[in-house]
Amino acid sequence: MTSKIVIIGAGFAGLWAALASARQLEMAGKVDAVEIILIAPEPTLYIRPRLYENDVSTALAPLGDLFALTGVRYVQGTVHKIAVTENVVEYISPNGTASTLLFDRLILASGSKLFLPEAVKGLAEYSFDTDQMEGAIKLDAHLKSLAKLPDSPARNTVVVCGGGFTGVEVASEMPQRLRGILGEGVDVKVVVLERGDSINFMGPKSSSVVQDTLASLGVEALTSQTVASIDADGVTTVAGTRIPSKTVIWTAGMRASSLTAQIPAERDEIGRLFVDQNLKVIGVDDVYATGDTAHVAADDKGHLALMSCQHAMILGKSAGNNAMADLLSLPQTPYSQPTYVTCLALGPWGALFTTGWDREVSLVKEEGYKMKTQINTQLIYPPTNRAEAFAAADPTLQLAV
């Protein structure tokens, strides 16, 4: 009987896991021995690193044709149950029908979601986000609707909760974005609330650039502030600070897919499964985790792979390659990703491009923006033909910048 590899998720990790497993299968000359099945709600790659942008209409890539070209069977559905002992996943089709898939190897690439702590009152009801395409579209519609409201401090103020990577990118775009909607003469206000004592997620070599740039753009950073509640008219912090605002954007923290909880194995504080360097879940037969669901070292110096597209792409390639090699009793290729870069968009100022885990400043302003544009519109988009797909699916290839 034909063996089956089932991949859950069509994000960066899921896409590349599918392509790498198909590549490995072809290289082994056993294309009829294993069926590769990818299950996801849509056959579409959403480019999450671009969802901070004003226009997200091109921040996606259809995958149906690419799957067909590379021999990957796409199944439309949302997985809600994983039975590891029976090697079965259960999913719900768009029409509401429950169905099952048997697997010989499972690759969990179901990604991550924005963390919404229950302790923050009104968070789910009144905040906006750019975590998924749906949220980015909702935020854009809301911002455009502000022009219909009477001029007021609350209408003209955007509060971004979280001074991390996403929060800074969203905040940097917002002054210009608001003026484009409300008018150049309007006194707009953008505030970042950060619970830490400074905005220093970029480390000592780059954080001063970020802080100075935010100030130059007119973005106010309030540190040591924990959000207590959000309502239709503003946000209140634990310390009692009240900021009137019709637009509160939540960017504070991520958690791995809830499906990781269905795998009987150890997880870290953000829900990622501990895996070995081949990305097999430790202590669980036949299951691999990759992308934002995997806790694994990126190099031999103690750096962990991050929840980022650059890590998800290589993690996906490694998981797909190794799951197929495992199934075919072939040598596996341990995951390794020592190269690390960061490119942070900073609105009209441009972008900050850094290299290495200590984030050494490499490119700034316009040159940094050119690099950010190249990464966001070229390097992380999927190939369009079989030959390019299999060439790029080599798990030893790094992101070339």
Q: What is the pLDDT of residue 401?
A: 55
Partners of residue 287 on adjacent β-strands: 106
Q: In the chain, count H helices and then E strands.
A: 9, 25
Model pLDDT for residues 140-161, shown as the tens digit of each residue: 999 999 999 999 999 999 999 9
pLDDT average, residue stretch 233-256: 97
Give start and end residues of each alpha helix (H) in 72-206.
123-126, 133-145, 165-182
Mean pLDDT of the chain: 96
pLDDT average, residue stretch 216-224: 97
Q: List phi, psi (to 5°) of 314.
A: -75, -40
Q: What is the pLDDT of residue 397?
A: 85
- pTM attached to this predicted model: 0.96
CA distances from 369 to 43, 188, 346, 363 (A): 30, 24, 9, 8
The domains located in the chain, with CATH, are: 3-114+254-338 (3.50.50.60), 123-250 (3.50.50.60)
Angle at 317 between CA 314 and CA 321, to 5 degrees: 145
pLDDT average, residue stretch 330-350: 97
pLDDT average, residue stretch 234-257: 97
Q: What is the pLDDT of residue 1?
A: 74
Reported as type and span, the H/E element at residue 209 is helix 207-216
Given a cut of 70, whether residue 85 has pLDDT beyond it is: yes
Given a cut of 90, whether residue 400 has pLDDT beyond it is: no
Taking Cα atoms as reference points, which of 397, 339, 343 lies closest to residue 16?
397
